[in-house]
């Protein structure tokens, strides 16, 4: 019995200090901050402010994805990933990319804002370009921490930056009552990221070291990633670009808030796949590839199913959640949220499939999955534009992960990794979560009619 108790304590300690725990803690705390931010800032600002920020971040994201070079995967996998000279060379590439993007965003600020039908936002877009320079100046801790299993430190860095963003946003919103408060908060968070990336991770100072051979090697590694990122740009931003053009900023702000709410649980999907599953799958592929079909589902099962159930609850209880968080001006956010949450629910399974396929060397899977998503958006979007039905466009966006999922299943089947029973569990728990969320929402609103 003492031995069993010791093993239990040891196991609990491992779970509490493990990679998954660090990500879960970060996501829970980040979402708590989001709730505080939403409940506070939406009462200090109107939806127009969120529309402005949505436009700015869409343009910035577009430029970032067009120049994505897959540095995280490159550093984590590379045999020289701990060598200071190697890190100097990669950091230099990243710094030059950040500087180039800063200049590029300044150049496209005016035409980009005009293209979206919001020419008055050109100066704000140009100002936001400095965020790329801040990103280039920060350390490579985002990748080295994953490689060296320092995920708790990385989570603390990200959480600290979010706290700075929240404090500055609320403080300036009390004074200004305009979208400048949100911008000031986000820029303050970027500055905090630069500083903390060196304070929290010692010995991360780098020097400029240009190496053309390293740049060529990085391109050979990332060429499929770059193409996939361009397609991801179309997938993740086409709705925002089209809807920002069709909607007034006040209405688009409601859609942007729905996207932010749906991103709350979605914040765990990408880091869990890249920081926990990808290293595990890569190690299995190197040391015991015959175990990969079992490990693929075993490693992800509990977290993925719990995530899907929770997002299903968000989908079913969307109206109640929005009514609790916001005043009546924002209640129509729920309609958008219900569709977007469907995409969020499916994303974690697709992310896991993507990482295991990359671990097996099938880099093209990401590219083809994104091609399927783009075709879906193109056909559905064209129908929505022709019919003039904005909600049809939102529904098409909400279902965009379905064609991606089917594509990943095809690649998994060819790699002898697909288990349809395991995949079916995910669909079942999403439906169960949505049913429970709807039931709770109906019950609460019958007792409290004002909700």
- pLDDT averaged per 10 residues in sequence order, the chain, 451 residues: 43 51 76 79 80 78 71 73 84 89 88 78 86 88 78 85 92 89 91 91 83 80 65 63 70 81 80 83 86 92 92 91 84 88 92 90 84 87 81 87 95 94 94 94 85 69
185: which residues sit within 8 A by CB, 6+ positions away? 164, 165, 166, 167, 168, 169, 170, 172
Question: Do 199 and 285 share a structural domain?
Answer: no
Residue 145 domain flag = yes
pLDDT of 11: 46
pLDDT of 2: 44
Residue 174 domain flag = yes
Question: Do 132 and 274 share a structural domain?
Answer: no
Q: Within 13 Å, how many C-alpha atoms sit on residue 217's CB side?
A: 15
Residue 308 domain flag = yes
Residue 171 domain flag = yes
pLDDT of 53: 81
Residue 4 domain flag = no
**Residue 198 burial class via C-beta count within 10 angstroms: exposed 0-12, middle 13-18, buried 19 and up:** middle
Residue 253 domain flag = no
Question: Do 328 and 192 share a structural domain?
Answer: no
Please answer whether residues 97 and 215 qualify as being in contact, where contact means their C-beta atoms are separated by less than 8 angstroms.
no
Question: Do 272 and 144 share a structural domain?
Answer: no
Q: Which of 223, 252, 283 is the last residue of a domain?
A: 223
Question: Do 363 and 438 share a structural domain?
Answer: yes
Q: Which of 223, 252, 278 is the last residue of a domain?
A: 223
- In 360-419, which residue ranges form alpha helices assigned H by DSSP? 364-387, 390-398, 401-414
Question: Do 275 and 215 share a structural domain?
Answer: no
Q: Give the dihedral of Cα atoms 383, 311, 330, 31; nearest 10 deg.
A: -130
Residue 245 domain flag = no
Question: Do 326 and 213 share a structural domain?
Answer: no
Per the structure, the complete domain to which residue 126 belongs is given by: 18-223
Number of domains in the chain: 2
pLDDT of 229: 63
Residue 7 domain flag = no
Question: Do 210 and 130 share a structural domain?
Answer: yes
Please answer whether residues 69 and 188 qualify as being in contact, where contact means their C-beta atoms are separated by less than 8 angstroms.
no
Q: Within 13 Å, how many C-alpha atoms sit on residue 361's CB side?
A: 3
pLDDT of 231: 64
Q: What is the pTM of this model?
A: 0.65
Q: Which of 223, 250, 284 is the last residue of a domain?
A: 223
Question: Do 299 and 186 share a structural domain?
Answer: no
How far apart are alpha carbons 365 and 404 in whole angstroms?
A: 10
Please answer whether residues 122 and 113 qualify as being in contact, where contact means their C-beta atoms are separated by less than 8 angstroms.
yes
pLDDT of 4: 39
Question: Do 435 and 356 share a structural domain?
Answer: yes
Question: Do 151 and 43 share a structural domain?
Answer: yes
Question: Do 298 and 430 share a structural domain?
Answer: yes
């Amino acid at each position: 019995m003492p031995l069993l108790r010791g093993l239990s304590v040891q196991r609990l300690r491992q779970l509490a200090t493990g990679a998954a725990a660090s990500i879960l803690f970060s996501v829970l705390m980040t979402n708590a901050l989001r709730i505080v931010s939403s409940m506070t800032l939406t009462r200090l600002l109107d939806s127009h402010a969120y529309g402005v920020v949505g436009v700015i971040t869409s343009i910035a994201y577009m430029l970032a994805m067009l120049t994505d070079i897959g540095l995280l995967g490159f550093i984590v996998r590379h045999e020289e990933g701990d060598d200071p000279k190697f890190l100097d060379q990669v950091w230099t590439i990243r710094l030059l990319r950040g500087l180039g993007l800063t200049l590029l965003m300044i150049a496209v600020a005016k035409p980009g804002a005009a293209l979206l039908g919001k020419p008055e936002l050109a100066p704000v877009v140009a100002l936001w370009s400095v965020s790329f320079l801040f990103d280039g100046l920060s350390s490579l801790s985002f990748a080295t921490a994953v490689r060296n299993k320092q995920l708790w430190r990385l989570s603390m860095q990200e959480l600290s930056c979010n706290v700075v963003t929240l404090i500055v946003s609320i403080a300036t919103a009390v004074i200004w009552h305009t979208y400048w408060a949100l911008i000031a908060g986000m820029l303050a968070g970027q500055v905090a990221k630069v500083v903390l990336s060196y304070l929290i991770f010692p010995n991360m100072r780098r020097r400029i070291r240009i190496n053309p051979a390293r740049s060529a090697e990085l391109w050979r590694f990332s060429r499929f990633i770059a193409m996939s990122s361009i397609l991801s740009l179309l997938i993740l931003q086409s709705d925002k670009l089209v809807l920002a053009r069709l909607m007034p900023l006040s209405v688009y702000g409601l859609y942007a808030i729905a996207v932010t709410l749906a991103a709350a649980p979605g914040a765990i999907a990408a880091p869990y796949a890249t920081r926990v599953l990808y290293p595990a799958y890569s190690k299995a592929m190197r040391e015991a590839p015959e175990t990969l079909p079992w490990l693929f589902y075993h490693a992800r099962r509990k977290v993925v199913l719990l995530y899907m159930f929770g997002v299903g609850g968000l989908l079913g209880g969307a109206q109640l959640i929005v009514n609790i968080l916001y005043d009546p001006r924002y209640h129509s956010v729920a309609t958008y949220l219900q569709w977007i949450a469907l995409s969020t629910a499916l994303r974690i399974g697709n992310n896991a499939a993507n990482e295991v396929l990359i671990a097996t060397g099938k880099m093209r899977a990401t590219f083809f999955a994104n091609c399927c998503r783009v075709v879906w958006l193109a056909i559905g979007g064209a129908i929505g534009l022709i019919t003039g039905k904005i909600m049809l466009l939102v529904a098409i966006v909400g279902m965009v992960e379905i064609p991606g999922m089917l594509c990943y299943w095809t690649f998994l089947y060819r790699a002898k990794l697909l288990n349809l029973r395991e995949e079916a569990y995910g669909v079942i728990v999403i439906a169960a979560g949505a049913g429970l969320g709807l039931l709770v929402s109906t019950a609460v609103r019958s007792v409290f009619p004002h909700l």
